[in-house]
Amino acid sequence: MAERRIGVIINGATGRMGTVQHMGNLLAIAAEGGLPLANGDRLIPELLLVGRDAAKLKALAEAHGNQRWTTSLEEAFAGPDKIFMDCAATGGRPARVKQAIAAGKHIFIEKPTAPTVEEAMELARLADRAGLKHGVIQDKLFLPGYGKLLATSKAGFFGRIVSVKIDAGSWIFDGTGDEECQRPSWNYKKAEGGGLALDMMAHWRYMIDRIASPVTGVFALMNTAIPERVDEQGKRYKVDAEDTNYALIRLQNGAIGTICNTWAARPRRDDTMVVQIDGTEGSAVAGRWKCFTQSAAETPEAFIKAAKPGGVDLMADWKEVPDVPGLKNPFRQCWENYLRHVAGEGPYLPTLVEGAKAVQLADLAYRSVAEQRWMDVPELKL
Ligand SMILES: NC(=O)c1ccc[n+]([C@@H]2O[C@H](COP(=O)([O-])OP(=O)(O)OC[C@H]3O[C@@H](n4cnc5c(N)ncnc54)[C@H](O)[C@@H]3O)[C@@H](O)[C@H]2O)c1
């Protein structure tokens, strides 16, 4: 058994994702003695934290066992570290990834991989032609609730899937009152990679493709419900990106669906992100943690009985899918799969082509809004 060390550059280390999900999970793998590989070796990630603010980086690095850090991406690219993780703010990601590819780094990046499908596919082609291992974070199907929904679908529970319904979002404060805005201000600025559709369609695409059927068409309607906000410095700014995205979708198997995603609604449901699949043999509703099913045989009469107050308890005839014990953090699972791929043990399924498919749905939704028409979703090839 040998210890193999692998250097990972984390660009955007002081951000929410950078600190909690990427640095946090990689340090946890290292603290356990590394990732066990099939041949008995252990792969130990060694981090290089990168960001723009030296004081914040230094403090972060020191608080987590004196990790290496730098404010110079160029310096990081010139060094020996093998993997580049970009989890900085979305804006400018393609340029950073191109630099990393030119430096021969394996690429593992946050979603969305680029602002347009053309740029996203360019990254996929460049990484592929350079013979680099590439992947994008697709964490949601590793969440317990959506994992159970995927397993329910794979087991054939739904029969013929007829519809998909996504209801997601919560109220994001504008920062003018007592509550701070919960999302970074770049989320609300187009030039910095903001926009709810670009942010979240990336998740909906792979979730729908894999749980139900590939998306073949989209028609979208967007809005900026809250046009002015207060940023991290307490300054007011104009929002020029959408905070609401409603979309109709068509799926390859003939099913249809809706995506209602907004940061300007107060949810009254089980979770802020709820996905419902309806099929001829059964339905399921999942949030991040829980998943409930109702089979055809358990379906109550809810047309005539529901027409009088208290006539039918619509929540009664659902069964909770049992938890799978011992699940690891979703980002940790993404990292373990990707590290095994880099070590030559198996594929990593969400490649940059999958990342581009996710961007494609957002891109087509924006074009649907601009042209006020349905957009077909063409197949993407390297
Ligand atoms: N997979 C997921 O579920 C998930 C969830 C949230 C965010 N994300 C993605 O992760 C990325 C980071 O999101 P976050 O919520 O951690 O944001 P954040 O604002 O908390 O962190 C972003 C980091 O990038 C830095 N930064 C800001 N502007 C920059 C610029 N122009 N150049 C370089 N660095 C810059 C910030 O200082 C900060 O360190 C985004 O691409 C976002 O879409 C993914």
Cis omega before residue 112 (within 30°)?
Answer: yes
Structure tokens at 268: 């009254």
In a domain, 23, yes or no: yes
In a domain, 277, yes or no: yes
Write the burial class of residue 129 (CB in 10 Å: 0-12 exposed, 13-18 middle, 19+ buried): exposed
Q: Give yes or no: residues 134 and 144 share one domain.
A: no
Query: In the prediction, which pLDDT does 382 show?
Result: 92
Query: In the prediction, which pLDDT does 116 show?
Result: 96
Helix pair angle (117-129, 93-102), 10° resolution = 10
Specify the 3-state DSSP secondary structure of 205: helix
Query: Atom 7, ligand 1: which residue's CA is nearest?
Result: 17
Structure tokens at 262: 């907004």
Q: Give yes or no: residues 291 and 301 share one domain.
A: yes
Query: In the prediction, which pLDDT does 1 show?
Result: 78
Q: Give yes or no: residues 10 and 118 share one domain.
A: yes
- The domain tally of the chain equals 2
Residue 338 parent element (H or E): helix 330-342
The CB of 51 under 6 Å from ligand 1? The reply is yes
The CB of 321 under 6 Å from ligand 1? The reply is no
DSSP state of 301: P
In a domain, 282, yes or no: yes
Q: How far is the CA of 69 from the centre of ligand 1 (A)?
A: 18
Structure tokens at 9: 């550059």
Instruction: Compute how many other C-beta atoms are within 10 angstroms of the C-beta atom of residue 42.
Output: 17
Q: Give yes or no: residues 202 and 134 share one domain.
A: no
CB 110 within 8 A of CB 97: no
- Going edge to edge, which strands form the sheet with 291-295? 319-320, 291-295, 282-286, 273-279, 161-168, 256-262, 244-251, 215-223, 375-376
In a domain, 28, yes or no: yes
In a domain, 382, yes or no: no
Number of H helices, E strands in the chain: 10, 18
Long-range contacts of 75-79 (CB under 8 A, 24+ apart): 76/9, 76/11, 76/48, 76/50, 77/9, 77/102, 77/103, 77/105, 78/103, 79/7, 79/9, 79/48
Q: How far is the CA of 17 from the centre of ligand 1 (A)?
A: 6
User: Which atom of ligand 1 lies nearest, measured to the CA of 56?
Assistant: 39
The CB of 12 under 6 Å from ligand 1? The reply is yes
In a domain, 296, yes or no: yes
Cα-based distances in Å from 344 to 45, 253, 337 = 15, 35, 11
Q: Give yes or no: residues 159 and 188 share one domain.
A: yes
Q: How far is the CA of 147 from the centre of ligand 1 (A)?
A: 25
Q: Give yes or no: residues 160 and 309 share one domain.
A: yes
Which CATH number characterizes residue 289's domain? 3.30.360.10
Write the burial class of residue 128 (CB in 10 Å: 0-12 exposed, 13-18 middle, 19+ buried): middle
According to DSSP, the residues that pair with 15 across neighbouring strands are none
Q: Give yes or no: residues 283 and 263 share one domain.
A: yes
Q: Give yes or no: residues 94 and 133 share one domain.
A: yes
Q: Give yes or no: residues 135 and 145 share one domain.
A: no
Owning domain of residue 340? 3-139+330-350
DSSP state of 169: -
Q: Best mutation site among 87, 143, 232 for ligand 1, i.e. most ligand atoms within 8 A of its Cβ? A: 87
Q: How far is the CA of 19 from the centre of ligand 1 (A)?
A: 10
Which CATH number characterizes residue 115's domain? 3.40.50.720
Cα-based distances in Å from 55 to 27, 48, 170, 291 = 21, 15, 33, 43
d(C-alpha 213, C-alpha 142), whole Å:
18
* Residue environment code for 338-358, b if the CB has 16+ CB neighbours within 10 A, otherwise e: bbbbbbeeeebebbbbbbbbb
In a domain, 377, yes or no: no
The CB of 24 under 6 Å from ligand 1? The reply is no
In a domain, 381, yes or no: no
Q: Best mutation site among 19, 53, 90, 110 for ligand 1, i.e. most ligand atoms within 8 A of its Cβ? A: 110
d(C-alpha 285, C-alpha 279), whole Å:
12
Q: Give yes or no: residues 36 and 156 share one domain.
A: no
d(C-alpha 11, C-alpha 76), whole Å:
9
Q: Give yes or no: residues 206 and 287 share one domain.
A: yes
Full pLDDT tens readout for the chain, 382 residues: 799 999 999 999 999 999 999 999 999 999 999 999 999 999 999 999 999 999 999 999 999 999 999 999 999 999 999 999 999 999 999 999 999 999 999 999 999 999 999 999 999 999 999 999 999 999 999 999 999 999 999 999 999 999 999 999 999 999 999 999 999 999 999 999 999 999 999 999 999 999 999 999 999 999 999 999 999 999 999 999 999 999 999 999 999 999 999 999 999 999 999 999 999 999 999 999 999 999 999 999 999 999 999 999 999 999 999 999 999 999 999 999 999 999 999 999 999 999 999 999 999 999 999 999 999 999 999 9
Q: Give yes or no: residues 211 and 276 share one domain.
A: yes
- Among 196, 158, 136, which Cα is nearest to 357's? 136
d(C-alpha 334, C-alpha 83), whole Å:
14
